[in-house]
Amino acid sequence: MEHSEIPKPGLPSAKVNHAVPSIENTRDVVLRAFEIGRVTVSEHFDDRCQFRNFSTLDAQELVECGDVKKPIVYDPEYNSFKIEFCGKVDNRWWKLVVGVDCMSDFCQLPRIILITVHRLTYKRARKKK
């Protein structure tokens, strides 16, 4: 495989058929990626974090303690599952959007992409559940 053919996180790559992960397993897959360090931060996420005073540690806490918003959506453009987590971190409500790369092994070596984060009002946060 030439260097230009190596799949990159967040970019279109060869299609791999994965079953949609269950709500129960989704949190475990994303936390496993945090645990082994297979987390890619998108430029957009980085910009939003600086603007909104949010960090990757906050993202990990939101994944651990927040709720997974249904449904989990497959994005064919990036060959990944888009997952939204909603919850409270540091007494503020947030929505975190994460992509799980379908080219990765969900059990052993999951790779995630932190896409964006939004600050929610209490009213909007209650609707997200």
Q: Give bridge partners of residue 54 from the DSSP assignment.
A: none
Residue 129 — pLDDT band, cuts 50, 70, 90? low
Nearest Cα to Cα of residue 119 among 66, 49, 64, 71: 49
Say if residue 127 is exposed, middle or buried (CB neighbours under 10 Å; 0-12, 13-18, 19+): exposed
Is residue 79 over pLDDT 50? Answer: yes
Distance separating alpha carbons of residues 99 and 16, to the nearest angstrom: 15
Strands laid side by side in the 67-75 sheet: 39-41, 112-120, 92-101, 80-89, 67-75
Q: Residues 46-56: pLDDT tens digits?
A: 999 999 999 99
Compute the chain's Rg from CA coordinates: 14
**Mean pLDDT of the residues in the chain:** 84
Q: Residues 100-111: pLDDT tens digits?
A: 999 988 889 999
Distance separating alpha carbons of residues 83 and 108, to the nearest angstrom: 19
Q: Residues 2-35: pLDDT tens digits?
A: 444 444 554 444 555 567 788 888 899 999 999 9
